[in-house]
Structures are given as C-alpha cells and as structure tokens.
Structure 1
Amino acid sequence: MTRASELMDRARSATELNDFGEDTFREGLEILVASADGEARFNEVGRASFDAQIVSFLSFRLQVEDWYARHPEIDEQEIVAPLIGLGLPRTGSTALGCLLAEDPNVRFIRNWEAMAPCPPPELATEATDPRIAMAEAAMARRDQLFPRMRIMLPSTATGPTECQTFMGYDFKSQLFQAFAHIPTYVDWLNHQADLVPTYRYVKRILKLLQWRRPPTRWRLKNPSHSMFITALDEVFPDARYWMTHRDIGSVIPSVCDVYNELSKAYSDEVDKPYLAQQNIAWTELGLQRVMAFRDAGADHRFFDIHFAPFQKDPFPALEQLYAFLGEELTSETRTRMQAWRESMPREKHGSHTYDPAAYGIDLAALRERFRFYSDRFGVAVAA
C-alpha cells in the first residue's frame, strides 16, 4: 500500500465515509506525498503537520461528496460571472480582497468555512457557528508557530481567504510549496498538471457554500490563478478579473520571506536560494501565461490596479472597478470599506522587513528579467 493510500484510509476512518468523488485528485496526491517524503527534509513537527493536513483535506473531500450524495440538488446552483483577483502576492491584493468583502451584496470564502466547509453554512445560524471560534483558535496557534505572519498576512476568522485551500482538495495547489521543499511536485504542477478538474472541484465547493447562504455574486482571489488561467477560464468562462501590480523588486523578496517563515517551522534545513529560484520561476511563467491570455482577446475582462496609489487612497480605484463591473458602489459599502481600512492600518502589527541578499537575489538583475512585465503595465520601481 502506498503512503497516499494509507492517508486516504486514515481519512475514511476519521469520517466513516468512503466516496472521494471523481479520481482527479489521486495523481496529485501521489506525486505530492512522494515528493514530500523524498525531498522535504521535514523535522518532527513538519512530518506530523504534513500528514495531518493531507488527511484533513481528504476528509473534507469525503464530506463534500457526502453532502452532494444526500442533496444532489446542490449541483443545480449556478456560479455566475465571478470577479477573480490574480494579481501577484504582496501587491496589496489582500487589502483589496478584504475591502471588496465589505460589500454586503457579494459572497466570498471566509477563513472559517475554508477551514471546514461542511456542513454548508446557513444565513440564519452563521453568526453563532462554532467553526468561527475554532478558526480563531487555529489562527492563534498559527501566530504562535509563525510569529511574523501577523505582520505579513494579517487575517481574521470571518475575513476572506484565497481559493488555494479548495484547490488543495484536488491536490493541485501552490499551498503546499509555501511550507515544503517539494521540487518534483512543483515542477509537475507548473508544467504537467491538468487544472481543469481542480477548478471544477472549486466550483463544486462554491455551489455547496452558496446553497443555503446567499448572495451568489462571488469575489475570489488567488495569485496562482495566473499560472493556470486557461484552465480557470474553461471552468469560469464568464469571469472578470482584477490584477494588482507592484515593483517586482518588492514582490519577490517579500514572497520568499513569507515562504521562509512558514518553512522554517517544519524543516531545519530551509534552502533560501531555492525559495528565490522557485518563486522567480513561477512568477515569470504565470505573468507570461496571463499576458498571453489577455493578448488573445481577453484584455477587456481585466481591471488593473497599481500598488502605490491604491495604498495612498483605495477609493478612486474601487470606484473605477465598480464602474468596470457595471455595479453601484453604495454609500453603505463605502462606509463599511472605510471602517475596515481604519481598523486595519498598514503595519498594524509591525513592519515587514527582509534582506533580498539572504535569498541570493540581485534586485537589478531581477528587475531586468521582469522588464517584459513592468514595461507592459507601467510598473514603477520602488523608491
């Protein structure tokens, strides 16, 4: 029996369920587990945490399929014209996602339901859902394990999160490479994996989440969508996109530092230069793919936002984004957005500092390598 099969059996035992649904997840699971076992150099905490996460994702998949088996009408739900953010990480995309989530007329993936999507939430009881407290406790443990993450990526149990977790249920997600040295899996994901089934499964979970908890106008976000934009488009052909932009010399070293913060809790042998090589490679490939997609006739579906003016005052960009969508930015939504902004000032938990040289990054060479991107979108070099 393979290690992947053993982990599947653990999930079956934990849930007393057996149906994982379509077998699309199996290839990614096998490659991920083999890569982690052979390459990750986990310490004791890392090995236990990795296995626990895999079993958790498999268990959630079993639960999703169980709800569909008992309520096949869920599949009649429709996901119409979602707005999807795919700007680079560390570009203000998290703040933008949080501001958009303040609109009471839209739906987004909340941290607490990403951590445990079943049973699907209900509008009448969600304010007292025990999963909120469970998510708060999990995030408190995260802050203890990764003390600098509150500075890098502040979040709350009821705030928005990315699609990465749900992609993880199909075991084709960048989530795993953020904390584990798994080059074989990363190479497969970037160059060989078929993400169409993955996005179909994400859509399957979104249907489940909105079934008893409207509204149904989704606001989604995930930087790695740029890597798999054609697969995403096949599953969500009416989607519209926003894309945030920032000097690549500020983006890549910051992302590397996030990966390092996550990885060092799970391994005593973190390879910092590898983190840079990995992030440079996928960022370059993702930008090339999304630019080709836009050039092939989809440019009108994108709205671009630049980091510096957005940080100074987000409302001009938000007004233009709502106009792009053909929707009204109501006074209620604007007030809620302003309240969120005042409650979450930049550097609320401290300043995120890092040394590019620690990752072997030459900023001048990096910026030259990404001139194809900065020239295309008029991205200014940070002062």
Structure 2
Amino acid sequence: MLVSDALIEQAMTTTGLDRFDSTSYREGLDVLLADYNSYDHPEPLIERMRGGLVQSLVDRLKTTDYLAKRPELLTRPVERPLFVFGMPRTGTTLLSNLLACDPARRSALTWEIEQPVPPPTTATLKTDPRAIAKLEQEKAMLAARPEMGKYYRNSAVYPNECMFFMIHDFKGLALESRGKLKEYRDWLFQTDMTSAYTYHKRFLQLLQADAPGAWSLKMPSHALWLDTLLETYPDAQLVWAHRDPFTATSSFCSILSMAHRGYTGKVDYEWLGEDCPYQAQLHLDRIMDTRERLGHDRIVDVHYADVMRDPMATIRKLYADLGDTLPPEAEAAMQAWLDENPQGKFGKHEYALDQYGLSVESLAPKFDRYLSQYDVAREG
C-alpha cells in the first residue's frame, strides 16, 4: 500500500528539503492513492508507481527551493504562450516538434522537464550533460526495443507535454492512465485546476530563467480546462489539433493499454473501451463549449490530414492565422526535421477498435456533435 505521508517523507529525505510552495498537491495525491490502493498490484509495479510519485514530489521541492533562491524569476512574464491541444492522438506531438524547430520559439524539452534544477541556458538547451546522458539512454532503449519508436515520437531534446510537470500538483491524466482509476478520473474532471496552472506558470518561470523565448507548449488535455488556462495566461494562443475521432480513439486505447501493462501488469480492455471514448468525447465537447463562449476566432484549427498531406503549407497557414510570419530559417529547420523523421521511421503503430469492444457504429453518437460542425477527413 502506498501512503501519502510516507511518499512525502521519502521525497524530503532524498532532497534534504522540507518546503513546498503550497499544499495544493495533497488532495490529488490522496485521491489517487485511495483509488490505486483499492486494487492488488504486483510488488515490482507498486515500486515503479512509488518511484514516479516520489520523483514528482522531489521535483516540486527542488523547484520551490530554486525559485526561493531567485525570487525575481517569479516577476518575469510568460507572454503569449502558444498551447496545442485536442482529443488525444490527433497529431499534437508532430505539430509541437515542428514548432520547436523555430529558433524564436521555446519549448519545454523532455530532459529539462525531468531534471529542471538547475535550469539550462539558451546555449546548453541541447548540450547540457543531462541532455546528453538522456540521449544515450534513449539510444540504448531504441537499440533494445526499436518498436517503441512507432508509438510516440519523443527524444530528450524534443518538446514534451506540460502533463509531465503539471503532475507535480497530482492533477493529470498521465496518472489516471496507470490502471482502472475511475474515482481519480471523475475527481479530476470536476476539480478546480487553478493550482495546477499556477504551478505550470511557476515551472515555466524556472525553465526560462536563463533560456527565455516565446513558449510553444502542448498537452491534449489542456482541452479540458481552457477557461482555467486563460485565467492564468489571458494572452495565450490556442491551437486545436483535429483528426478522425474514430482513428484517434483507437490509437488512444492502444497507448493506454501500454500504460496499463507498465503499471498493473495486465490490460483491462473492457475499461479502456469505456474510458477512452468517454474522455475523447469530453475533450471535444469542452473545446466546443469554450469556443462558443469565447468566439470562433479565439482558437486556431489545424487538421492532421493537412499536416500529413503538405506539412509546410499547413505550418505557414498556422503562422498566418496566428498573425505571425514563418521565418525562412525556421521553415528550413522544420523541413530538415521532417526529412530526418519520415512517417513510419520506426514502423507503423497498429491498433483496432474491436480489440476494446468498440466499432465506428457504437462510437458515432459520441462524435456526432463534433463531426456535424467540423469537416474532418476520415482515415478508415
């Protein structure tokens, strides 16, 4: 059994630190553990869960300590951050990787999310010893399991999701994916996310200490909390990634099945067949509800099919829709990234709805509102 107080004590012992910026993390941690502990899990996987939770607490302690030593960082603005979101598995990763090629943009890179203290400088964003060490680990992993590259296009020096630092507040769907955690999921979808976005901003203020820039950020589930996001970042640029929702749901089920194996040792196909469509519809409905309140033009649309067909034309249009101009050096860097990372470089990610007791016919009512409003290219 995992116990909140014991995890917190372990994190404090590990760091030699004992002060968090707030106690906002505690409710989510307690709800998560109550749900997680209600099931039996193999001891090695409980230890894996423990390690991840303690690391989130360690990172929050270190972030708090660093910002206390450099309080001026909290006065520096985070101006016009760009957020890419949508229902899961709609091409947000590809889009964020392309945006990260623009030298004028700043992305939260995988290695610095995992090891934020001390933050890097602009010159060392991709050459910091921590980045190099992570790249070596990644190289070894792909050599041992090359099939992993087809599921998620990531690297130590590529941008990663805001999720992986928002979970320092223990509010995030990455935690929900670690088993059948319905109580935690339902709590998360109705809870006030203000503290998570407050922490999100603090974390960016840490990362931009000596490596500033115009932030480009991505997390599909920003879709769920756009009103709270805008309370924290009123001048945010919002980009909605669209894709065939039937294909995206199938891919979503597949990705979560891997998380289930990693944290429970088995896959609950029936639960995923219920959970993933529910989440997919909620993502879409909440974006559409928010757009109706904000006005259509407040959110910019990008379609996965357009990115696949002509990525650079799609990026140029995105920049124009945002009121920006795509610089030639950024376009060249994006094209170089595309040339280096062709679709299917590591193989094709295979998935099917019927593995989870689903079909296009059974899902159609969930996506009727969305597909009646948006002309989304079908992939099936």
Structure 2-normalised TM-score? 0.95
What is the alpha-carbon distance in structure 2 between the residues aligned to residue 89 and residue 13 of structure 1?
37
1:341-383 per-residue CA deviation (whole Å, 9 max, x = no partner) reads 0100001000111221111112222123201111111123224
Q: Does the residue aligned with 1:304 lie in a helix, a strand or coil?
A: strand
What is the alpha-carbon distance in structure 2 between the residues aligned to residue 285 and residue 365 of structure 1?
16
User: What is the match of residue 245 of structure 2?
Assistant: 248
Residues 217-366 of structure 1 correspond to what in structure 2 (within 5 A)?
217-366=214-363
Unaligned residue ranges in structure 2 (runs of 5+): none
User: What is the match of residue 74 of structure 1?
Assistant: 73
User: What is the match of residue 16 of structure 2?
Assistant: 16
2:130 matches 1:131? yes
Name the % identity. Answer: 33
1:324-345 per-residue CA deviation (whole Å, 9 max, x = no partner) reads 2222211111110000001000
Relative to 1, partners in 2 of residues 1:138 and 1:163: Cα closer, same or farther, differing over 3 Å? farther
User: What is the match of residue 195 of structure 2?
Assistant: 197
1:3-45 per-residue CA deviation (whole Å, 9 max, x = no partner) reads 1010000000000000111111110011112211213x43233
Please report how far the alpha carbon of residue 81 of structure 1 lies from its aligned counterpart in structure 2 after TM superposition: 1.2
Which amino acid is the alignment partner of residue 164 of structure 2? Answer: T
User: What is the match of residue 209 of structure 1?
Assistant: 207
Segments of 4+ in structure 1 off by > 3 A? 124-128, 137-149
Which amino acid is the alignment partner of residue 315 of structure 2? Answer: L
What is the alpha-carbon distance in structure 2 between the residues aligned to residue 140 and residue 46 of structure 1?
24
Please report how far the alpha carbon of residue 148 of structure 1 lies from its aligned counterpart in structure 2 after TM superposition: 4.2
Q: Does the residue aligned with 1:84 lie in a helix, a strand or coil?
A: strand
User: What is the match of residue 55 of structure 2?
Assistant: 56
Which amino acid is the alignment partner of residue 62 of structure 2? Answer: Q
CA contact (8 A) 1:233 1:239 kept: yes
1:150-202 per-residue CA deviation (whole Å, 9 max, x = no partner) reads 101121110111100111000001111223322211111012x2101100100
The range that moved more, 134-143 or 43-52, is 134-143
Please report how far the alpha carbon of residue 269 of structure 1 lies from its aligned counterpart in structure 2 after TM superposition: 3.3
Which amino acid is the alignment partner of residue 66 of structure 1? Answer: D
Size of the aligned set, in residue pairs, is 380
CA contact (8 A) 2:88 2:280 kept: no
Structure 1-normalised TM-score? 0.94
User: What is the match of residue 83 of structure 2?
Assistant: 84
Which amino acid is the alignment partner of residue 105 of structure 2? Answer: V
The range that moved more, 153-162 or 175-184, is 175-184
User: What is the match of residue 372 of structure 1?
Assistant: 369
User: What is the match of residue 97 of structure 1?
Assistant: 96
The range that moved more, 246-255 or 172-181, is 172-181
CA contact (8 A) 1:64 1:205 kept: yes
Which amino acid is the alignment partner of residue 286 of structure 1? Answer: H
CA contact (8 A) 2:305 2:377 kept: no
CA contact (8 A) 2:242 2:376 kept: yes
The range that moved more, 148-157 or 204-213, is 148-157
CA contact (8 A) 2:45 2:265 kept: no
Relative to 1, partners in 2 of residues 1:148 and 1:298: Cα closer, same or farther, differing over 3 Å? farther
CA contact (8 A) 1:104 1:333 kept: yes
CA RMSD across the alignment: 1.9
CA contact (8 A) 1:88 1:223 kept: yes
What is the alpha-carbon distance in structure 1 between the residues aligned to residue 92 and residue 319 of structure 2?
16
CA contact (8 A) 1:58 1:169 kept: yes
User: What is the match of residue 113 of structure 2?
Assistant: 114
Which amino acid is the alignment partner of residue 204 of structure 2? Answer: L
CA contact (8 A) 2:2 2:33 kept: no
CA contact (8 A) 1:92 1:311 kept: no
Residues 171-186 of structure 1 correspond to what in structure 2 (within 5 A)?
171-186=170-185
Relative to 1, partners in 2 of residues 1:78 and 1:304: Cα closer, same or farther, differing over 3 Å? same
CA contact (8 A) 1:240 1:302 kept: yes
CA contact (8 A) 1:151 1:352 kept: yes
Which amino acid is the alignment partner of residue 82 of structure 1? Answer: P
CA contact (8 A) 1:57 1:169 kept: yes
Please report how far the alpha carbon of residue 288 of structure 1 lies from its aligned counterpart in structure 2 after TM superposition: 1.2
1:217-240 per-residue CA deviation (whole Å, 9 max, x = no partner) reads 110111011111111111111111
Q: Does the residue aligned with 1:19 lie in a helix, a strand or coil?
A: coil
Please report how far the alpha carbon of residue 133 of structure 1 lies from its aligned counterpart in structure 2 after TM superposition: 2.8
Please report how far the alpha carbon of residue 129 of structure 1 lies from its aligned counterpart in structure 2 after TM superposition: 1.4
Unaligned residue ranges in structure 1 (runs of 5+): none
What is the alpha-carbon distance in structure 1 between the residues aligned to residue 321 and residue 13 of structure 2?
49
What is the alpha-carbon distance in structure 1 between the residues aligned to residue 176 and residue 137 of structure 2?
20
User: What is the match of residue 154 of structure 1?
Assistant: 153
What is the alpha-carbon distance in structure 1 between the residues aligned to residue 84 and residue 126 of structure 2?
27
